[in-house]
A and B are shown apart, each in its own frame.
Chain A
Amino acid sequence: MTDLRGKSAIVGVGHAGFGEAHGQSAYDIMAQSSLAALSDAGLNLSDVDGLFCTMMEDSMPALMAAEYLGITPRYIDGTMTGGSSFVNYLTSATMALEAGLCDVALICYGSNQRTASGKLVTASKLPPYEGLYSPRYPISGYALAAARHMYEYGTTRENLADVAVAARAWASHNPEAFMRDALTREDVLASRMVGDPLTKLDCCLVTDGGGAIVLVRADRAKDFPNAPVYVLGAAAESSHRQISQMKDYTTTAARESGKRAFAMAGVTPADIDVVELYDAFTINTILFLEDLGFCEKGEGGAFVSNGNIAPGGSLAVNTNGGGLSCVHPGMYGIFTIIEAARQIRGDAPGLQLDGVELAVAHGNGGVLSSQVTAILGGASTV
């Protein structure tokens, strides 16, 4: 097997339309994000020959994006695994770059969900053996997992609330974050119940926003304005599509994706400086910290509590405020990569941690269905 560790590097990141982007279409926001990332890398659209994109509005979004951008990519990947897609593209883009199938890979996304509809918009149909029961998609799926985790491990609503409180504490320092007001455990517990055991404040935001990343082969990564961020490890595992087909509601496929991503990078959770996880709901953070090996299975509730993953805690998690408090335009996965890369580069918009060399970006797709883990590193790691 070809060793892909450190073979590609992120040389540009960009975003656009955070919060409310009135009058902007999803493709406008995608393109603005792409232009920002290319500008960050000192490149032009005409340099892009590999496109990695999916959107929520269309069944051929990658073609729509290429057409809008005015490019004719010779390599294109529009694999749709939900919000994890963009972390998944780190693997396919690295392979395409390494094989010489493209030289400049653009990973991009945009959405105007907040101003367009105010709720999650998806082209997905209701799953055939679930739709009749009217589960509220996607929250009911995550609620079913949270309820089982509470039953098996004694995880509490206070534990869940502390995830939201930590995310807000990080967001309060980030001028790009949509929600920055102080938030307490009591606020979360007193918030309106939406799908037991999850309240409104256990759920991610619905915002507009887009993000983009420029990836090149590592051998030319130092020829760009910003310090390169290397892809040291990336791995995926898919366990189901419908929540009713999840075999174990307390253990996600992140256990497998994480194991392989860490093995590929040659590092362990103890080596990681910052963790960016797809926190669509508060239970996600608990599940993924357990499954990626930052704490034991069942101990996630205690691990996230009392400020342990907030600023000043033992592990820095979702340093931009995450999907819970920073930005969540339908699919959040790309922002885990962008924040991880900025922490490594040293230009994070909120709290910048000292000496970040190793970061995890973890994407989730569907209803805990697709898990993709990436390990990113700075110059000292290759």
Chain B
Amino acid sequence: MVNELGPDAYFRQGLANGEINLPKCRDCDRFHFFPRVHCPHCGSIKLTWQPASGKGEVHTTTTVRRRPESGGDYNVCMIELTEGVRMMSRVDGILPVEVKIGLAITAFVGEINGTPAVLCKPAGAE
């Protein structure tokens, strides 16, 4: 790795600075997620980081049902970014049951319980 922090720590440090950095292999040019010390596609350890486009779509989704007094229902989904990587996330700004597979999203860095996290909103939404 080009940085002193381990890949997990580097990714999380990026989130803390409001950036979504994706690990990319300099040998096979493919992105991967989650961050690790080697490329899971080709095994290379020549990795670099690239800011995510933030563009993507919902690959699959579920609504976790929860009692209203405990906070109500919420979304858990898998998003696929245009870089070709998928990660777990949550779409905000619409009801959980309105989150559909194929929905175009914009990923951004938000917070869950005070911890920086990759969250999404429908593409084009303010």
Interface on A for B, CB 8 Å cutoff? 128-130, 132-136, 140, 143-145, 147-148, 151, 192-197, 243-245, 249
Contacts and interface: CB of A to CB of B under 8 A. Distances in A.
A-B complex: 10 closest residue pairs judged by Cβ atoms: A143-B62, A148-B60, A196-B63, A244-B88, A151-B101, A144-B60, A129-B34, A135-B76, A130-B88, A147-B60
A195 B62 contact: yes
Nearest to B12: A128
B61 A133 contact: no
A32 to B, nearest CB: 37
Nearest to B60: A148
B65 A193 contact: yes
Contact of B64 (A130, A140, A147, A249): A140
Nearest to B117: A132
15 contacts: A129-B34, A132-B113, A133-B89, A134-B64, A135-B62, A135-B76, A144-B78, A148-B101, A192-B65, A195-B65, A196-B62, A196-B65, A197-B62, A244-B88, A249-B60
Nearest to B100: A151
Interface of B: 8, 33-34, 59-65, 74, 76-78, 86-90, 97, 101-102, 112-113, 115, 117
A147 B76 CA distance: 12
Given A134-B74, A135-B76, A128 B65 contact: no
B19 to A, nearest CB: 16
B117 A128 contact: no
Given A143-B62, A244-B78, A133 B112 contact: yes
Contacts of A196: 62-63, 65, 97
Nearest to B71: A134
B2 to A, nearest CB: 22
Contacts of B77: 144
A128 B112 CA distance: 14
A133 B60 contact: no
Nearest to A244: B88
Contacts, number: 69
B63 to A, nearest CB: 4
A352 to B, nearest CB: 39
A135 B87 CA distance: 13
Q: Which of A132, A134, A194 has the most CB of B within 10 A?
A: A132
B59 A148 contact: yes
A140 B64 CA distance: 7
A294 B103 CA distance: 33
Nearest to A192: B65
A262 B63 CA distance: 38
A144 B59 CA distance: 9
Contacts of B76: 133-135, 140, 144
Given A147-B62, A195-B64, A196-B63, A132 B112 contact: yes
Nearest to A129: B34
Given A128-B8, A144-B60, A147-B61, 16 more contacts: A128-B34, A132-B113, A132-B115, A134-B76, A135-B64, A135-B76, A135-B88, A151-B60, A194-B65, A196-B63, A196-B97, A197-B62, A244-B34, A244-B86, A244-B87, A245-B34
B52 to A, nearest CB: 14
Contacts of B87: 129, 244
A130 B33 CA distance: 12
Nearest to B40: A245
B45 to A, nearest CB: 20
Q: Which of B76, B77, B89 has the most CB of A within 10 A?
A: B76
A135 B65 CA distance: 10
B53 to A, nearest CB: 19
B62 A129 contact: no
A348 to B, nearest CB: 36
A239 to B, nearest CB: 13
